[in-house]
Structures are given as C-alpha cells and as structure tokens.
Amino acid sequence: MPAANRNAVLVTGASRGIGEATALHLAERGFTVFAGVRSEEDARALSERANRSNELPGTLRNELPGTLRAGTLRALLLDVTDAGSIDRAAETVGAAAPQGLAGLINNAGIVVAGPLELLPAEAVRRQLEVNVVGVHAVTRAFLPQIREARGRIVNVSSASGRVASPWTGAYAASKFALEAMSDALRMELRPWDIQVSVVEPGAIDTPIWKRSFDRATRILDEVPDERRRLYAETIERLERRQGRGPSHAIPPVRVARVIERALTARRPKTRYLVGREAWLAALVAPLPDRLRDRVLG
C-alpha cells in the first residue's frame, strides 16, 4: 500500500475490548484513527486514555504496549444500527480525511447467548442487526472513501464464524453471515484492488463475557418457568460462571497486531486466525457433522 494512503482508518466498536486495543495500537503505529464509540462518555474515556499515553516520557512510552507515539486518535460518535449516525460519521471522516480511508475495521458487535428455543425473536433480530446489517451499512457508507485511497476492509469475525456450539447459535449465525458477506465483498471489490480480510479470534479477555452474561440473564428472566426447567442444568452452570471468560483467553492487543498486519501486508491473507480456540475451530470445522457435534457438545 502506498505510504501516502497509509494514514486514516476507521475502527468501529472502539469503546472497549478489541476495538479499543486496535484503535490505540494503530495510533501508536502512526495511523490517524477515527475510533467509533456509541456515547459521549465512551468518547471521553477513550480520548483520556490516548492523552495519558501521549503524556508519557518518550523512553517510557517506547517500552509500554498500547501507548501512542506517532499517530493521532479521534473518538467519533457512531452507532452502526443508526443510519443517521453512520451518515454523520461518514461526513465527519470525509471532511477530516479528504484523501480517503486506508482502512475500515468493522469490529462493533454483541453476543446474544442462550438456547435458541429460549431466545425471543427481538433478541435474535438485535444480534443480526448489529453484527451483520450494521457491518453492511457502515461498509456501504464508507466505500467511496475506501475506494478513493484504494484502502482495505478488515472484518472482525470469530471462531464461531467457522463452527457453532450450544448456546451460541444466534451469535454464530451472525458470524457465519459476516464470513459470507466478506467473501462476496472480496470478489465484488476486486476491480478496484480493495482487499478484504477476515480476522477470526478465539476467546479474548474482554468485557464482552460479562456483558453477554448480563444480557443472557435478562433474557432468561423473562422465560416462563416451564421452559427454563428444560435447560435448568445448563442455566445453573452459566450462573456459576458469572460471565467469566475461558482461563486461556488472550489479550485483545494480540488481535490488534493481526489487524495491523492485514492493513499493511503487501499481499494480505483473506483470513487470519488468532488464538488457540480459533485454530481448534479450524481443525474441527471439516469433521463430519455427527463427530463435530460430539466434540463440541
């Protein structure tokens, strides 16, 4: 990618977790980062963290991961489910980066967990609205700016985009859809040399586990007792975990470094696996269905 076009990038879902780590890491690496967040409070928190990083002495800043050196970071209000919010963000980025976007990182996402039988239609609809329709809406809005800079698109998927496991059916459906959409985009945008990569992390040490647990708890509290009893043992295991992620979850900065590679490699991969769970999912996915069911179950 030409150096002149290696500047401005947009990261959605940058309030915390992978998005926050990616926004800070890319700014550290010299990018001008527009970090999409949903609230003024999140914007202030992210900006304060970036400012604290910049205030460190140079020698110390070079030694600490996740600190800013050469680039800049600008928090940007962006709700991927709100057409007006997307249009305003596109206008803001277009004015601030008239040379176009070197990269769009579609990271915003939620996890709706629970047995499919117990999930209400509105919860499944919300899952798809954020993780699939939101990605399409943002990509569609920013493609003119990406085309201007001959930039790249990086979609953050998951190991669940390869294999579905119990209690993650709605989430896996959204990531399977994101994988398919990424494949189609990669072929459709080839005439303009716009590369599309998918990053597939396994378990990541982020607040998404706690938020997923809280969301599942609220949903299950509305389920009639006779249906809850059908899944009583599984619900009890969920409550014992209290939203804790797997002990082998990896830090989000590892995903951020892979996203940087997808943006800067001369010939980026179409898919990047990050973490043990992602590699295991890749190994399990080709197994015969019944055998895979036994492994995952």
pTM comes to 0.87
Is the Cβ–Cβ distance between 100 and 5 less than 8 Å? yes
Q: What whole-number distance in Å separates Cα of residue 195 and Cα of residue 197?
A: 7
Q: What whole-number distance in Å separates Cα of residue 239 and Cα of residue 262?
A: 38
Amino acid at 227: R
Q: 3-class SS at 192?
A: helix
CATH of the domain at 248: 3.40.50.720
In the set 34, 142, 167, 171, the catalytic residue is 171
- How many structural domains are present in the chain? 1
In this prediction, residue 56 carries a pLDDT of: 44
Phi, psi torsion values for 183, nearest 5 degrees: -60, -45
Active site residue 231: no
Range of the domain at 78: 3-296
Q: What is the pLDDT along the chain (297 residues), one digit of tens a residue?
A: 433 345 899 999 999 999 999 999 999 999 999 999 999 999 999 999 888 766 544 433 444 343 344 569 999 999 999 999 999 999 999 999 999 999 999 999 999 988 999 999 999 999 999 999 999 999 999 999 999 999 999 999 999 999 999 989 999 999 999 999 999 999 999 999 999 999 999 988 877 767 777 787 788 788 888 888 888 887 777 777 665 556 678 899 999 999 999 999 999 999 999 999 999 999 999 999 999 999 987
Sheet with 195-201, edge to edge strand ranges: 72-77, 32-37, 8-11, 103-106, 152-156, 195-201, 271-274
Is the Cβ–Cβ distance between 79 and 37 less than 8 Å? no
In this prediction, residue 3 carries a pLDDT of: 39
Q: What whole-number distance in Å separates Cα of residue 228 and Cα of residue 219?
A: 11
